[in-house]
Amino acid sequence: MDSSPEVFTKEEGLRLLRAGQINDAIGVLEKVREKTDDAQVCSFLGAAYDQKGDKVHAIHAFEECLRLNETPKAYYNLAVVYESVHRIDEAVREYKMAVELDPNYALAAQALKRLHDQFEAVRAQPEPAAATAQPTQSMPAGPPPPSQTQSFAGPPPAEANLLARQMAKEQAIADQHHALMRSGLIYGAICGAIFFILLNLLGGLVIAMMGGKGWLWLVIQGFIGAIYGSLVGLWIGYTCGGEGAGFQAGAVIGLVYGVAIGLLMGSLGFMIGLGLLYGLLSGVVGLIIGRLVDMSISD
């Protein structure tokens, strides 16, 4: 794909999405989202992730869309994804929010009625024991058999199955979230340590501090880098983000680190220069960590 800046527009992302080029559309829309807070971009991105089957990122994108612009359509889109993963209570909540914002929003109202009718249909199903019971049959003394008390011990079978599927889906989402956190921590620590060691080698700091302590300084910098990378990776996992979240986290942490070094040098120029330099380089490393995390989950 042409990587020129003008290609990365929400119009291009929408065109690719409509053409069925889902991965290309996600790539373009993620680039656009890095540059601007646009609710429509997040909505397109949520639709793309939903079509791809990545429900975690779809929910995240639609939630971001709602944060930027609270509309009935945004609530409806989020509800549809929740319903697709059988998170019914949350889907009902979002459908209701859409109807509260716009009582004439037919799609949300119809979805609420459909879910309500399904629930009532489950409740109206006859109990198997009641269908086979004989009206004139005398009841034996003692407690009723288990078949007659089964309906009071829990939800109807169909509702229980629905609840089980919903819990399984929620557990799968939680497992994927934990996998993101774990991969972010591992890749972040490795990449962060390598980044800080190379940064000091290229900067000549090790040469300046040689005299028997050069290797010790490298070890210290590797340890600091591992902490830095772990923070970046954990942020990626916590936000269920990828390259974009990695670049943002890396840039912020790198900026703070550069400013701190400049402050220790006692120079405003070094504070600004090192802050910008470290922020940019650190952002690139964060982007790499985010890509590795995404690859580890997709595999």
Considering the domain architecture, whether residues 112 and 193 belong to the same structural domain is answered as no
Per-residue pLDDT band for 148 (boundaries 50, 70, 90) equals very low
201 and 111 share one domain: no
- Same domain as 215, residue 100: no
Structure confidence by residue, pLDDT tens digits, 72-104: 898 999 999 998 888 888 889 999 989 988 888
156 — pLDDT class (breaks 50, 70, 90): very low
Are residues 181 and 73 part of one domain? no
**Do 224 and 109 belong together in one domain?**
no
Nearest residue to 224 via CA among 188, 182, 196: 196
Of 68, 72, 66, 131, the C-alpha closest to 101 is 72
Same structural domain for residues 180 and 294? yes
Q: Which residues contact 83 (CB under 8 A, 6 or more apart)?
A: 91, 111, 115
Give yes or no: residues 179 and 113 share one domain: no
**Do residue 208 and residue 108 come from a single domain?**
no
pLDDT reported for residue 155: 42
Name the range with the highest mean pLDDT among 141-155, 158-172, 197-211, 217-231.
Answer: 217-231
What is residue 149's predicted lDDT score, i.e. its pLDDT? 35
Give the whole-number percent of the chain exceeding pLDDT 90. 5
Do 190 and 288 sit in the same domain of this protein? Answer: yes
Mean pLDDT across 18-33: 89
144 domain-assigned: no
Assess if residue 155 is contained within a domain.
no
Mean pLDDT along residues 181-192: 77
Does residue 123 or residue 257 have the better pLDDT?
Answer: 257
Note whether residue 147 is domain-resident: no
Domain endpoint, select from 89, 124, 159: 124
- The domain in which residue 35 lies consists of 5-124
| Inside any domain, residue 32 | yes
- Most confident range (mean pLDDT) of 57-71, 137-151, 192-206, 274-288 is 57-71
Q: Is the pLDDT of residue 128 over 60?
A: no
Residues 120 and 32 in one domain: yes
Burial, 164: exposed, middle or buried (Cβ in 10 Å; 0-12, 13-18, 19+)? exposed
Q: Are residues 210 and 284 in the same domain?
A: yes
Q: Which residue has the higher pLDDT, 270 or 115?
A: 115
Q: What is the pLDDT of residue 7?
A: 58
Question: Any idea which of 1-5, 158-162, 243-247 has the lowest mean pLDDT?
Answer: 1-5
Q: Is residue 107 part of a domain?
A: yes
Whole-model pTM? 0.43
Domain closes at, from 124, 156, 189:
124
Task: Please report whether residue 62 resides in a domain.
Answer: yes
Q: Is there a domain that residue 235 lies in?
A: yes
Question: Residue 119: which CATH number?
Answer: 1.25.40.10
Whether the pLDDT of residue 177 is over 70: the answer is: no
101 and 199 share a domain?
no
Q: Which among 106, 124, 142 is the end of a domain?
A: 124
**Domains held by the chain: number:** 2
Look at residue 148 and tell me if it is in a domain: no
With b for 16 or more beta-carbon neighbours within 10 A and e for fewer, the 105-130 pattern comes to: beebbebbeebeeeeeebeeeeeeee
pLDDT in tens, 265-299: 887 887 888 888 888 888 888 888 877 877 765 54
pLDDT at 191: 78
